[in-house]
Homo-oligomer: A and B are copies of this chain.
Amino acid sequence: MRSVSVIGIGETEMGSFPERSLRDMVKEAGNKSIEDSNIEREKIQAIYVGNFNSSYLCGQSHMGPLVSEELNLGNVPTLRTENACASGSLALRQAFISVASGVYDYVLVGGLEKMNHRSTEEVTSALASASDSINEFGIGATFPSLFAMIANRYMYEYKATREMLAAVAVQNHENGFKNPHAQLKKKITIEKVINGFPVAHPFTIYDCSLVTDGAAFLVIGASDLLNKKEKERAVEIIGSGHAGDTLRLASRKDITKFPATIKAAEEAYKMAGIKAKDINFAEVHDCFTMTQIINTEDLGFFEKGDGGPAVLEGKTALDGKIPINPSGGLKSKGHPIGATGLSQVYEAVLQLRGKADDRQVKQADIGLTHNLGGTASTCLVNIFRRLK
């Protein structure tokens, strides 16, 4: 298998843009990524697109040819991937395999979602279709309530406090405040989180990620085909892992950890030939505050039960031992479902290039992205390093 690198990145601002079309977002993010890659458009041999539910939300399926037509990429093969909130990372995973194996040399990978033109009820239904539609959504258990159950059990077993959860939101908003692409650029306090509008106990509105419109695109290519100048800007994908779990949360024995994350991380670390302690920073899937704490344990950054205290102690802050979600995460930057996994990679590449401005982490040699679908029924982990 060949070495594969990210050679171009582009994303839209994340936010509530009911007036923006899918096509407009594709054009902006797609063209930015191709321009950033500095390769001729004709070199792109395939398009992999992550999109969660535009079939329902926008009445538009078959997203691959839409992207190809809007970006004027001709008769290239296209493909849409979907596994809930991990759809974007799935597109990258398959594109990575196709380049690593030599099927293609250069591939465009995109993710997008448009939701804010629909009502809250419609968005809730669209999102809940990623759960077990009969035994979860069908009995009223939407994702906030499912993750709230996880949170309650975790807090009981590991004596985590309400303040620890709230501190995740506070920290991610601190980071997002410094990200021009972030949807919610405002600082918040632990008190504000705890006293926010109640969603599903213990979560208030501030424990939940956002409903976001946005797109993120990458150009990836075989590292050995790059010239010297291209190699200097390229970021290599040194690890990739993908694992799954039951669709239904109730089918699992222990809901305070996510076996799909643990397995995907093991696979990615093994491929990269490194350990969790070698990671300098990570973008992890903070769909809810509780999720981020569990993720940082499942990824091996902290022992089980230590993830909560670590946030309060500042260990996951921008200047901490292992900065988590320097972009602001799904909580402050936003959660444009199909684009989320690729927007994480966008941030990782910016950090590794040393171009993250005010939110640049000090040590940025190796970065990790972690993307979940459903209640961790799907998980993908990627590890990145500068090629040169």
Q: Which residues of B contact A66 (CB under 8 A)?
A: 132, 247
Q: Are A78 and B244 in contact (CB under 8 A)?
A: yes
Which of the residues B68, B103, B246 comes within 8 Å of A246, measured between beta carbons? B68
- Using a CB-CB cutoff of 8 Å, which residues 124-151 of chain A contact chain B? 125-126, 128-133, 137
A69-B251, A82-B61, A101-B100 known; A75-B132 Cβ under 8 A? no
Give bound CA distance, A377 to B56, whole Å: 20
**Least distance between A121 CB and chain B CB atoms (Å):** 13
Q: Are B58 and A55 in contact (CB under 8 A)?
A: no
| Residue with the highest number of chain B CB atoms closer than 10 Å, among A52, A81, A243, A244 | A244
28 contacts between A and B (CB under 8 A): A1-B101, A55-B55, A55-B56, A55-B126, A59-B133, A60-B129, A61-B82, A62-B129, A62-B131, A62-B374, A64-B83, A64-B377, A65-B83, A65-B245, A65-B378, A69-B247, A69-B251, A75-B244, A77-B378, A79-B81, A79-B94, A80-B81, A80-B82, A80-B83, A81-B81, A81-B82, A97-B97, A100-B101
Supplied contacts A65-B246, A65-B373, A68-B245, 15 more A-B pairs, CB within 8 Å: A1-B102, A55-B129, A59-B128, A61-B129, A62-B84, A62-B373, A64-B377, A64-B378, A65-B83, A65-B374, A66-B247, A69-B247, A75-B244, A77-B243, A78-B244
Give bound CA distance, A102 to B125, whole Å: 39
**Least distance between A54 CB and chain B CB atoms (Å):** 8
Would you call A248 an interface residue if the criterion is a C-beta within 8 Å of the partner chain's C-beta atoms? yes
Q: Are A61 and B130 in contact (CB under 8 A)?
A: yes
Would you call A90 an interface residue if the criterion is a C-beta within 8 Å of the partner chain's C-beta atoms? yes
Q: Are A76 and B243 in contact (CB under 8 A)?
A: yes
- As for how many copies of this chain the complex holds, the number is 2
Q: Which residues of B contact A125 (CB under 8 A)?
A: 59
Give bound CA distance, A263 to B93, whole Å: 25
Would you call A260 an interface residue if the criterion is a C-beta within 8 Å of the partner chain's C-beta atoms? yes
Q: Whose C-beta in chain B lies nearest to the C-beta of A240?
A: B103
Q: Whose C-beta in chain B lies nearest to the C-beta of A100?
A: B101
**Least distance between A104 CB and chain B CB atoms (Å):** 10
Give bound CA distance, A373 to B62, whole Å: 8
Q: Whose C-beta in chain B lies nearest to the C-beta of A66?
A: B247
Give bound CA distance, A59 to B129, whole Å: 5
Q: Whose C-beta in chain B lies nearest to the C-beta of A52?
A: B61
Nearest 10 CB-CB pairs, A to B?
A101-B101, A65-B377, A77-B242, A65-B247, A61-B129, A62-B130, A60-B133, A62-B84, A56-B56, A69-B246
Q: Which residues of B contact A128 (CB under 8 A)?
A: 59
Would you call A98 an interface residue if the criterion is a C-beta within 8 Å of the partner chain's C-beta atoms? yes
**Least distance between A49 CB and chain B CB atoms (Å):** 9
Q: Are A78 and B378 in contact (CB under 8 A)?
A: yes
Would you call A259 an interface residue if the criterion is a C-beta within 8 Å of the partner chain's C-beta atoms? yes
**Least distance between A105 CB and chain B CB atoms (Å):** 14
Q: Which residues of B contact A179 (CB under 8 A)?
A: none
